[in-house]
Amino acid sequence: MKILYITLEDLSLHKGSVVHIREVIEGLQKRGHRVGLIGRAQTKLEIAYHFHNIHPRTSFLSKFLSPKKKAYVVSSILLFLALIRIVRKYDIIYARDFHAVIIAFLPRLMFGRKLVFEINGLANEEQKLKGHSFCNQILAFLIKKAEGMAVRCCNRVVSVTQQISDYLAKNFSCPSDKIRIVGNGVNIQRFHQIYDEALLSSWRKRLGITKDDLVVAFVGNLAPWQGMNILLESAFQILSNEMQNLKFLIVGEGIQKDSLVRKVFDSGHTEKFIFTGMVEYEDIPILINIADICVAPFISRRNQTTGVSPLKVFEYMACGKPVICSRIDGLEFVEVEGAGRLIDPEDVTSLEKALYDLIRNPREREIMGQTGPKVARERFSWESKVIKIEEVLEGLA
């Protein structure tokens, strides 16, 4: 098949959504399909057969819009124009997120192409978490309307969780036979246990971590729904008990980063926290391997609605690390398989207790770490996820 993957994501960034895009495209190409990509990046990408870059460079809109809004508006226009020009060369359009679907609707009608909507989260629910102002609520309402429009515009929906599927059926009257559920995965060739002690030691030294330090790590988007405030409160409680050899490694960027750094500074525990900011994707497995315990303390409000299929948890497990994450639909396997602990969402005491238990029990950490790679390999490899996506596309071709 000839598949055209379209997105307005900034492919230059090292974040979960970009990982997902890369893995799906590369997986489909390994299975013999020709995949074109329309997206925006600040550098040339070689992950697809053809890459059509819609990154805005200069524009008359610069005087009127912020850089982020300008990038979105200009990229949307360029995406539409690129689709008109090249869509006839492809059999199927595979669009990530609602805005790309809406932009693709007219071109796909003009040239009689099938359109697949890949939805990895509910943008209107995420918008609600950004504030309670009247303007923000209006924006969330409009986004919800746009998401409903995208569901009606496409031939198939690929949903990352059952909860999103249920939401689409309930709120947008989407027929169940129109939706296919394909969760996130992990690249088990990239994420695995690293035994090169020289490599790990050099990274510890770079980060200011000694060999005797016990490291608790979080990797991901520093956004409200990740529960980072809960992690910090739990960490402060543990550190107040004079645990001298404990360090917290926070890997990633996001809208909460500045407030989290200020909170750590005000706590007086600055030397115990390491904020790396955005790092190269190739370095993430090394940072996870440095850790002794990895955490994902999701909050309930947004995640109970959407469910979770978190890249970070699969990557933690593939690297052989015990996992502590919230008891939210989609994460039951962590406890069932013995790969980690589940905690009550937004419960500082629950997270504190789980951390204490694993800090004091190296044998339990070792057993969980031995279980994780096997579960990741058997249940969550990207190869198995791409096969399911391929089945969706072949059903439309």
pLDDT digit string, tens, across residues 173-217: 999 999 999 999 999 999 999 999 999 999 999 999 998 999 999
**Dihedral angle of Cα 359, 363, 367, 368, to the nearest 10 degrees:** -10
300 occurs within a structural domain: yes
Residues 170 and 116 occupy one common structural domain:
yes
Give the three-class secondary structure for 73. Answer: helix
**What is the rounded CA–CA span in Å between residue 173 and residue 151?**
9
Residues 207 and 114 in one domain: no
Q: Are 279 and 14 in contact (CB under 8 A)?
A: yes
Residue 191 belongs to a domain: no
Above 70 in pLDDT, residue 49? Answer: yes
Phi, psi of 75 (to 5 degrees): -65, -35
Output phi, psi for 294, to 5 deg.
-120, 145
Per-residue confidence band for 68, with pLDDT thresholds at 50, 70 and 90: low
User: Residues 354, 284: one domain?
Assistant: yes
What is the distance between the alpha carbons of residues 181 and 388, in angstroms, rounded to a whole number?
A: 9
For residue 192, being part of any structural domain is answered with no
Same domain, 70 and 161: yes
Token pair of 230, please?
Answer: 């809960």
**Residue 327, domain member (yes or no):** yes
Q: What's the chain's average pLDDT?
A: 92
For residues 223 and 174, state if they share a domain.
Answer: no
At residue 70, the pLDDT reads 62
Percent of the chain past pLDDT 90, that is, above it, reads 78
Mean pLDDT over residues 355-383, rounded? Answer: 96
pLDDT of residue 14: 81
Instruction: List Cβ neighbours of 35 (8 Å cut-off, separation of 6 or more).
Output: 2, 3, 4, 5, 25, 28, 29, 48, 49
pLDDT of residue 73: 84
CATH of the domain at 300: 3.40.50.2000
pLDDT of residue 57: 66
* Region of poorest pLDDT, from 35-44, 51-60, 157-166: 51-60
Q: Are residues 350 and 389 in the same domain?
A: no
173 and 220 share one domain: no
The separation between CA 12 and the C-alpha centre of its own chain, rounded to angstroms, equals: 15
Report d(CA 245, CA 239) in Å as an integer.
Answer: 10
Same domain, 125 and 205: no
pLDDT in tens, 123-157: 998 888 778 888 989 999 999 999 999 999 999 99
Query: What's the pLDDT score for residue 317?
Result: 98
Tell me what pLDDT residue 232 has.
Answer: 97
pLDDT at 134: 87
Burial class (CB within 10 angstroms; exposed 0-12, middle 13-18, buried 19+) of 135: exposed
Tokens (6 digits) for 163: 């909860």
- DSSP conformational letter for 127: H
Position 66 pLDDT exceeds 90: no
| Angle of helix 362-379 versus helix 311-318 axis, rounded to 10 | 110
Tokens 């955490």 — which residue?
A: 295
Same domain, 261 and 272: yes
Question: How does residue 35 score in pLDDT terms, banded at 50, 70 and 90?
Answer: very high
Distance CA 117, CA 151 (A): 7
215 in any annotated domain = yes
Provide the domain count of the chain.
Answer: 2
386 & 356 share domain: no
Q: Which domain holds residue 234?
A: 197-379
Task: Choose the weakest-confidence range: 88-92, 102-106, 328-332, 354-358.
Answer: 328-332
Best CA proximity match to 298, nearest among 277, 312, 314, 281: 312
The neighbour count for residue 309, using CB atoms within 10 Å, is 25
Strand partners, 95: 6, 117
Distance separating alpha carbons of residues 241 and 249, to the nearest angstrom:
19
In a domain, 98, yes or no: yes
| 31 and 165 share one domain | yes
Indicate the DSSP class of residue 292.
S
DSSP string, 327-370: --TT-HHHHHTTSEEEE-TT-HHHHHHHHHHHHT-HHHHHHHHH
- Given a cut of 50, whether residue 64 has pLDDT beyond it is no
Same domain, 138 and 235: no
Lowest mean pLDDT, pick from 63-77, 108-122, 310-324, 361-375: 63-77
| Amino acid 61: pLDDT | 46
Length of the chain counted residue by residue? 397
43: left (phi over 0), alpha (psi -120 to 50) or beta: beta
Phi, psi of 152 (to 5 degrees): -75, -25
- The answer to whether position 166 is within a domain reads yes
Question: Is residue 283 in some structural domain?
Answer: yes
Residues 6+ apart with CB under 8 A from 202: none
pLDDT one-digit tens code per residue, 216-272: 999 999 998 899 999 999 999 999 886 779 999 999 999 999 999 999 999 999 999
